[in-house]
Structure 1
């Protein structure tokens, strides 16, 4: 490590004399990468952004993140935000001090790893920077825009907390839930059984606290959305439940509508689930 700068200089001069145009990147206190002059993360990102612009799909904002010297080029790309996480290597911090210290769009986070990225998202106002699990009362959240993905996460967190008795059992909660589920909507269970959505709500009411004091967790993954008309979205995701040592997962498709009596939110029109990898074939739990 102490000899790195001397080695880089000597190697660069030696390769240059042989007519090779290269860049040498030192990172992690031990790695030395020799790349063609036009190769690297910075060039790759710049090319990608240019291609998006030509296609008319330029991102509204771009955030780059790094923790070692081979990430430095990312911060040199024009009009990007950047964050060096708190556990960034010395060579990246040194590069920042020498080349980008006065750039307000590049920060050194006080948090490590992914937490540092979330910190930067909040610092630059690029999006939500609080995990939904850290929000105890969603009714107090002020949202600039309402996302179908956020709607899905919000419901399944409530479902988890309801069964763990971590929210108050009240008729008001049930009324709110009924108000966002279409009265004629259908839930198709992975077993193939069809039920009215409001019947599922009634059964959910009876399950309050049945997982209290037990290991029980619900999460969604691989969420994707498709707007199928001006006021309707098709949301697909994997929904998983962990109860004790047993885990069940199903592929879920939800039809949401922004048209109706729900203020600043969505109406759940239809839910269809299919078991993944045959899990939970005999289970009849709703949602």
Structure 2
């Protein structure tokens, strides 16, 4: 929460499965479009929060499978766990708050009386969440009876039905909406309440997010029946909540534009990146550089001298790249190595994205940019921690020059064949 000095311009609070992540999009194109937009235009002054029903273990598994960015805050287990940053530091105050009138053993004892309930996997059973599967036809009756039983036992609980099959029992003060309200309260106490908050969801356990005061909301086009029903009854006439016409992350981008919160054109939707820029944005230029690199290897840009000339034009004549293997090359040599690789990844799952982009101006004409650079291909996923030194170069179309690139492998993600890692 301390990454930004002041108010976040935008805080996106998004569910993951079938909201940020489209499991029917095998190439993850909508997610990659969002990633590029976020790292280019929002990471420097905004916050991204993932709010998921997944347990920490299942959330970490999803991160290994999909090109998810690193969130500033993670809300897991249907709003019963809050963690901060890449290291996922838990919010102990939130856990203590949830203990009020909660007894997990009593919940287990009472739910055993309902044969319609079957436990979800052990990974989804958490200190403040007990999770079941239930057939749709039994859900309403079981929820009503179970709620009465638990109240009679002296517990304050919340029962959430979502996805047409999942039933979660939580402390009354838990849930995605309560967790967001708690975060808003903490930000406000620190004088850092985000200027805009956009909540995004697709299922019943997301409904609470839309009830938090003073937020924008987007129900993605592929939302489940229970959320669409709630939207029709509660928010259809609310101008701050929309039902997107786009699926998943594409619907989130659509909402940013609809509400006029900020830029909503992803760099992945820009074909010509060679135009003169009005103002220098280091994050944007890093995103565009690696997008050009991806497109060259996928043969999605023209194989022309002009494309290579544009890359050379943003390179300092004595620019150096330190490969993650430790070998030092001139950046111009790396461009020479790249030229014959045109189309070598055509027709494959090869994708490149950057994460955690941060930049600082270290002199009147120099910027240091740090980020994680990822490559995904048929051979797996690889990542290196990257630092780039940029110098102002007004005579170039982009207004800058690459002076130094230094990369080190992220533990566990080194490429087996180092020669395929060019930039």
**Equivalent pair of 2:389/2:405 in contact (CA under 8 Å):** no
C-alpha displacement of 1:252: 4.2
Structure 1 counterpart of 2:419: 283
Q: SS in structure 2 opposite 1:162? A: helix
Structure 2 counterpart of 1:157: 291
**Equivalent pair of 1:254/1:269 in contact (CA under 8 Å):** no
Q: SS in structure 2 opposite 1:63? A: strand
For 1:1-287, what aligned pairs fall within 5 Å after superposition? 1=136, 4-5=139-140, 8-9=143-144, 11-12=146-147, 15-16=150-151, 20-139=155-274, 147-204=281-338, 206-207=339-340, 209=342, 211=344, 215=348, 217-227=350-360, 229=362, 232-240=367-375, 242=377, 246=379, 249-257=382-390, 259-261=392-394, 262=396, 266-275=400-409, 277=412, 278-280=414-416, 283=419, 286-287=422-423
Q: Please, which moves more after superposition, 73-82 or 181-190?
A: 181-190
Q: SS in structure 2 opposite 1:114? A: helix
User: Kindly tell me: are residues 105 and 197 of structure 1, through their superposed partners in 2, closer, same or farther at Cα, counting changes over 3 Å?
Assistant: same
Query: Structure 1: how far apart are the matches of 2:304 and 2:297?
Result: 13
C-alpha displacement of 1:46: 0.9
C-alpha displacement of 1:172: 3.4
Query: Structure 1: how far apart are the matches of 2:382 and 2:237?
Result: 49
C-alpha displacement of 1:116: 2.7
Structure 1 counterpart of 2:122: none
Alignment RMSD: 3.5
User: Kindly tell me: are residues 23 and 208 of structure 1, through their superposed partners in 2, closer, same or farther at Cα, counting changes over 3 Å?
Assistant: closer
Structure 2 segments unaligned to the other structure (5+ residues)? 1-135
Q: SS in structure 2 opposite 1:184? A: strand
Query: Structure 2: how far apart are the matches of 1:248 and 1:4?
Result: 41
Query: Structure 2: how far apart are the matches of 1:268 and 1:30?
Result: 52
Deviations 1:147-188 (A, max 9, x none): 434322321221233344433344433332223222332111
Structure 1 segments unaligned to the other structure (5+ residues)? none
C-alpha displacement of 1:5: 4.7
Q: Please, which moves more after superposition, 80-89 or 29-38?
A: 29-38
Query: Structure 2: how far apart are the matches of 1:130 and 1:214?
Result: 25
Q: Please, which moves more after superposition, 215-224 or 189-198?
A: 215-224
Query: Structure 2: how far apart are the matches of 1:241 and 1:66?
Result: 27
Query: Structure 2: how far apart are the matches of 1:216 and 1:83?
Result: 30
Query: Structure 2: how far apart are the matches of 1:284 and 1:31?
Result: 44
Deviations 1:178-218 (A, max 9, x none): 232223321112333322223333443x4263627564734
User: Kindly tell me: are residues 248 and 22 of structure 1, through their superposed partners in 2, closer, same or farther at Cα, counting changes over 3 Å?
Assistant: closer
C-alpha displacement of 1:106: 0.8
C-alpha displacement of 1:93: 2.2
**Equivalent pair of 2:282/2:359 in contact (CA under 8 Å):** no
C-alpha displacement of 1:241: 6.0
Query: Structure 2: how far apart are the matches of 1:91 and 1:247?
Result: 37
User: Kindly tell me: are residues 34 and 284 of structure 1, through their superposed partners in 2, closer, same or farther at Cα, counting changes over 3 Å?
Assistant: closer
Q: SS in structure 2 opposite 1:207? A: helix
Q: Structure 2-normalised TM-score?
A: 0.56
Q: Please, which moves more after superposition, 48-57 or 170-179?
A: 170-179
C-alpha displacement of 1:45: 0.2
Query: Structure 2: how far apart are the matches of 1:216 and 1:26?
Result: 36
Query: Structure 2: how far apart are the matches of 1:22 and 1:282?
Result: 54
User: Kindly tell me: are residues 212 and 114 of structure 1, through their superposed partners in 2, closer, same or farther at Cα, counting changes over 3 Å?
Assistant: closer
Higher relative contact order (CA 8 A, sep 6+): 2
Query: Structure 2: how far apart are the matches of 1:144 and 1:51?
Result: 37
**Equivalent pair of 2:319/2:403 in contact (CA under 8 Å):** yes
